[in-house]
Amino acid sequence: MHKFSLSPLARPKIERIWTTAAAEIGFEVVRTGDAYASSDGAGRILIGADELLDDDDAVAQLIFHELCHALCEGPQRAQLPDWGLDNTGAEPADMQVAHEHACLRLQIHLAAPFGLRDLMSPTTEYRAYYDLLPSEPLRDGASDGSSAAAVAPAAAVAVALARAAAARAAAPPWRDALARALELTARELEHPLGFRLGPAHESCGTCAWKYLGGRGRPVLRCRQSADRDGVGRRIRVDGPACDRWEAPVDCHACGACCREAYHSVTVSVRDPVVWRQPALVERHGHRFEIRRDGDRCAALLVEAVADAAEGLAAPSATSRGLVAGREPAGGEPARRYLCSIYADRPQACRDFQAGGRHCLDARRRVGLSRA
């Protein structure tokens, strides 16, 4: 009998999916009281009995991790216990770690296309490293988020091992078995709204795109699932997060509505900004608009986070656009967006709701939120 687990992967059906995948590749999965997760060098993957596993462990994830180790170490080490990994201390510590890092890079490479990056993450001390890896972990120079790691020999070894492993994973018998297992797992875990599952420790209730509304009595709904009339589907506050989950919008880290998302801000002739900020107001016939500076509002100030005023917190990874494992395009540094006429801003800007329907549209247009 399975004990309670925090992981959505801890389901008998998903466990069977992965024991079957291992068998198709040539490995037998054996539950044991003598190991946490390992191999015996005789074609068996050893996974700890339920009482040995932590509450957030899942057999499926542990099997996947061991299969990725097998790929990283190559067929020449398949007949060695624990894939031939050195646990004696004879090998330099950074090189030992490089093998583990290679495995984690491969996990992201294989799981992310199925929306399973977060759920297939390690539950050990390596989780922090895993979370910092970019969405393209096999790219040359792909680091763990620190400049030192980008040039460290161990990081280069990890990338090389992971790339070789990815090539093996793309060939039989690995290719079909892994793709089938990942697809079946994703299908079992599909979000009620039809999206892929998102961060395992978040919920609809913590997402930026929940709102109260709809036809008739207001109920909790999701903006990401809105139909043509702008009405989102109903959700539960404790419902699982989908892959479009985002933390509440940080306007200073976003600025989408003042950037390329919109081409103009119409101002009423009676709006105080017309006489309080005349240099920023243009007249077009009978209409007044805020002047544009290229494709952005001329009142918008943009600061690099490193140069921002002291005492202002840097935006979180999510608010910078790291949504569902994605990075800012081109690896751009985080920026802070400020309004130079905030106290005098037009009524249209005052009415704009952070986290509202138009906010989501603006973020989609600049690539900060998924369409």
Mean pLDDT of 88-115: 85
The string of DSSP letters for 86-98 reads --SS-S-HHHHHH
Give the model confidence (pLDDT) of 291-306 as tens digits.
999 999 999 999 987 6
Average pLDDT over residues 47-54: 93
The pLDDT, as a whole number, for residue 198 is 83
pLDDT (tens digit per residue) in 315-335: 333 332 323 333 344 445 688
Alpha carbon distances (Å) from 60 to 65, 123, 130, 177, 368: 9, 13, 18, 14, 32
- Report helix, strand or coil for 60: helix
pLDDT digits (tens, 9 = 90+) for 251-295: 999 999 999 999 999 999 889 999 999 999 999 888 899 999 999
Q: Measured between alpha carbons, how far is 322 from 53 in angstroms, rounded to an integer?
A: 31
* Range name among 64-68, 214-218, 261-265, 311-315 with the lowest pLDDT average: 311-315
Pull the structure tokens for residue 220.
């909790």
Phi, psi of 350 (to 5 degrees): -65, -35
Separation CA 247–CA 186 (nearest Å) = 23
Judged by average pLDDT, the poorest of 37-51, 80-94, 142-156 is 142-156
Residue 313 has pLDDT above 80, yes or no: no
CA dist list (Å): 48 to 18, 33, 59: 15, 6, 8
Q: Are 94 and 153 in contact (CB under 8 A)?
A: yes
pTM of the model: 0.63
| Cβ neighbourhood burial of 315 (10 Å; 0-12, 13-18, 19+) | buried
Q: What percent of the chain has pLDDT over 70?
A: 86
DSSP state at residue 257: G
